[in-house]
Structure 1
Amino acid sequence: MTTPCGWRVSTEPGLFIGLMSGTSLDGVDGVLLESAPGTPPRVLAHAARAFPTGLRAEFFALNTADFDELHRSALAAQQLADLYAEVVATLLRDSGVSAASVRAIGAHGQTVRHRPDLGYTAQINAPALLAERCGIAVVADFRSRDVAAGGQGAPLVPAFHRAVFAVAGADVAILNLGGFANLSLLFADGRTLGFDTGPGNALLDHWAQRHLGHPYDAQGAWAAGGAVRADLLTQFLADPYFSRVAPKSTGRDDFHPAWLERHLSAHAAQASPQDVQATLAALTAHSVAEALRRAMPAVCELVICGGGARNTDLLSRLQQALPGVTCRPSDHSGIPAEQVEAAAFAWLAQQTLLGLPSNLPAVTGAAGPRVLGAVYPA
């Protein structure tokens, strides 16, 4: 088959690797995906690596303006490529698959700025170096073409979610609970919509690191023991982002530690750190539930993926906020929660090689369908 871009590709099942390091900044997830156009993709292997402490701290620092950013970003990109290459090597070893059998790696990179309002989004990545390390073609820079076409550049996963999670005759929503939360809305009539709802784990993780000395609140146990401060929650929800209509996307440029501190300044004497954690958990659950009720009133199932799917307290709050809706991790639908986003970028890499558009203008607001990503041949 010859694609619209002039490439000759096979429509037989192929192997693709997806690599995702998300806004939670906890590390890299990778999957080996078997995929062919028109058939449900299948995960064959999964591997993960935590970020070294220094690299994680550097990514946090690069989210804000600082000294010598270009040089530091280049060095961080090289370190990330090395970590990505380790994950790829593990996937190949564990699956018994050769590098020559893999058609491409979809490597998202690490988002450090996301400003579609200013016409750009920035992911730290070194795809040329990764292609050299692995001997496999790499597809990267997925978001910038959608932004160039006037879109938000996010979320990009709803098309993949429809391919994997759609249920005939039912309105189903997919919630990715990473550092930030985004919804994919799979309507029974075939429409697909999606948008970022607001903070997911990012502020929760920041507060847990600050007060517990841990990178996250395991299973939300600390938050579960706190009391939600209604006045503080109301103040959080007054942020203009929550009332904006889609298409919309967000990240650490909007919701960051300084944002939290501004809101806490009037409540610091009254709210204990544990109550703040409980209120941040309520913020995530409430903002997701309200957005879902408005956008998909007939929703029957909420499939949850991302690291937040393992937060027992957060899932409980979501279920309480959405009575009558079945809320459950994506494991029940065939792909474990922590593998979904990496699988999505493997699928997006396939779309790129096929010369097929993979953004949804109804989701991102782009001027039209676009082939996403840049290809770095092996």
Structure 2
Amino acid sequence: MTASFSLPPEAAEPRLDVARRTLERLRGVPALAARYAAHVNVHTLERLAALPPLAKDDLNTALAHLEPAAEHSATWLFQSGGSTGAPKVGYAPTGFYMAGVHAHWQPLDRTDVFANAWGAGRMWGAHYLAAGLADLSGCRIIALGSVTREEYGDWLAFLADRGVTAIGGTPSVLRLWFAHARATGVRLPSLRKVLWLGEAWQPQLEEDLAVMAPQARRWGMFGSTETWVVGTNTPDCPADTFHPLPHQLVHVDADGLLDFTTLDPEMLNPVLRYRTGDAGELTACPCGRPGPAMRVLGRRDSVVQVRGLGLDVDELITRAEREPGVARAQVVLTEQRGRATGVDVLLLADGPGAAPDAERLRKELLAATFTLSTAFQHDPESFRVRPVDALVSNGRTGKTAALVVREES
């Protein structure tokens, strides 16, 4: 069982006192006490793996009861999610634990000019987290925050004029920046580094970067508002593979889901076998760094029920994004009292002149996808494919979920 942890017993077990303290905190939450009643100690990785995993609702319950506070600085309260499910809460001290990240991962240095394009404000932590990392690097920082589509042209010209060497944001937002630059002929010859966090890397970004910033390479972080940064990668690592930080203990359960236990004694959130919903595996990274790396295989919630049948959202989107002229696709499921009344596949065109053949694609998807052809056998018009100017995104974070569920009144 211990082979499924990112740290071997000799490295992890001396630090499990943090996990034991976290367990006591959770046992003190009335709504969770019964769950952990039979678990009185965690002194080995086997004991840790036997603990019930925490889901986001459990952690929200614990945080509402505990109300964590930092001992030596201010306490920041953040939330994430809300696009497809209930928001998740997280706490962090000033600095956002980024000193520990910077000690092991340094994509920025003093010579960089860094544009921080993660959305600022509205209780999302990524902008401030990236600012903390950039501050530790000593580089020059342009705090862009949220930028509207109408402003891309002026800001891109400004970034090019300032010789920006690095930019960071969610892949959804970066895709909009780079697609606009490519479509309008803007080039960022000084750009060498692209930092990302919040979503999986999008292969289309590689195509855009090859044209508008051919020297740029990606540097990724994996984590969440509850765990903060779990692992990082470099241009030498596959985009889905991350090296866990020493204070983050990653475990792969028998069902293939990842869970995370934080061994940082300063961590405010009680992160003990916390599940984000991502599947994964421990593997050797081709970059050659020693120790197991974490390969993230994606979320397990991509299959949704449509009139009693399972629809693989990721598979549907992959097919739609192979269509000429399509930059990105998104599935919108409309329900009424829990029953699907319609499915829409939204297509974001790849540039101003692109015009995907939506009706042809609709017919192909309807004929080739068993769930769609069966579920909408008697009302095929309830399955639609349509081009849009913008996909449905989270107004706070700029994230664009693959699936959006809407309740019809």
Fold shared per TM-score above 0.5: no
Larger fraction in helix: 1
**Bigger Cα Rg:** 2
Larger fraction in strand: 2
Q: TM-score by structure 1 length?
A: 0.30
Q: TM-score by structure 2 length?
A: 0.28
